[in-house]
Amino acid sequence: MNYNFFIGIDVSKKTLDFAVLKGKELLFKWVSENDESGIRKFWAQLKLQQGFCVNEAIFCMEHTGIYNQHLLSFLYSKKAFVCLEAAVHIKLSSGLQRGKSDQIDAVRIAQYAYKNSMELRLWQPKRQVIQQLKHLSGLRNRVINARKQLTVALNETSGFDKNAARECKKLCKASLKAMDEDIKRIELKMDRVIASDLELKRLFSIVTSVEGIGKVTATEMIITTNEFKDITDPAKFACYSGVAPFEYSSGSSIKGKPRVSHKANKHMKSLLHMAALVAINYNADMKAYYQRKVDQKKNKMLVINAVRNKLIWRVFACVRNDCPYQKNYQIALA
């Protein structure tokens, strides 16, 4: 797609900083409130630019969670082309930088869109049911983390002062029980959301048909891939999840072993790790594979990572073929 206008937006909680380029030329900058009224004022100014057409413009911004919501909703209603990029991706592509402000960042984002216009991946809005599932999953994770922080502190105390720890546990008993009940209610709500949408329900059943992939892992995979629309390649998802190994070598002096990158979704990686352990314990094929590699003196974590990769490829194959995992699948001969 060839674009003539490149709009970079630096998004914050209260304000939006815009920078508008036509080719390499900076046309104007604009600051507005992060609400529909402020966005409409910018849009009116943008439409005054000579030759502006929404079909020839790309709007680029960083991922900022819910702070993007007003702007994305407005741009979607205008059928505009939108690109959401990771902040670190834009930063690393900008070269050596000196100075920083919201206006400068908006210009850099616009310049990033101009330089990478042929490789930009357009944003696709998530369906409402996926948005709801995402919010519930995030809430569940926050409650679990809060419970973990409380229990870890109590367990640490018991190693030094058992009487104090016992007293603290009594005082926190109601809080822990309430959090357990909250987690159950959230999970029940998530189950209802999945069951309420036939398309999502079928996709969920396909993903969980792979042995080792449970409800939590399946939910996160569906959310992060936007129902396997944003990420369709298992190799890319493995990279995103920190499972794919990368070569580390340079010249004749550095000959490092291939290893995974820390630039990954660590939460997704931990879920896949637990899924791999379950698969090794309960899936005969994975168990035999793991034991064979360990007997060959392979590093255990390396083998577990290979199992994680296998699970990813199985899930994506099932989704691509729109059918549950079949243990004894045979290719039909023509």
pLDDT under 70: residue ranges of the chain: 329-334
* Residue 94 phi, psi (nearest 5): -90, 0
Question: What integer pLDDT is reported at residue 332 of this predicted model?
Answer: 52
> Looking at the domain that runs over 5-115, which CATH code has it been given?
3.30.420.10
Fill in the amino acid letter for 61. Answer: M
pLDDT, tens only, 311-321: 999 999 999 99
What is the domain partition of the chain in residue ranges? Answer: 5-115, 128-196, 234-321
Question: What integer pLDDT is reported at residue 177 of this predicted model?
Answer: 93
- Nearest-angstrom CA–CA distance, 8 and 158: 53
Question: What integer pLDDT is reported at residue 160 of this predicted model?
Answer: 74
Question: What integer pLDDT is reported at residue 253 of this predicted model?
Answer: 73
Q: How many CB atoms lie within 10 A of CB 150?
A: 16
Q: Please state at what angle helix 300-321 crosses helix 198-208, rounded to 10 degrees.
A: 140
Question: What integer pLDDT is reported at residue 331 of this predicted model?
Answer: 56
Give which of 107, 7, 102, 3 is closest to 47, Cα–Cα.
Answer: 7
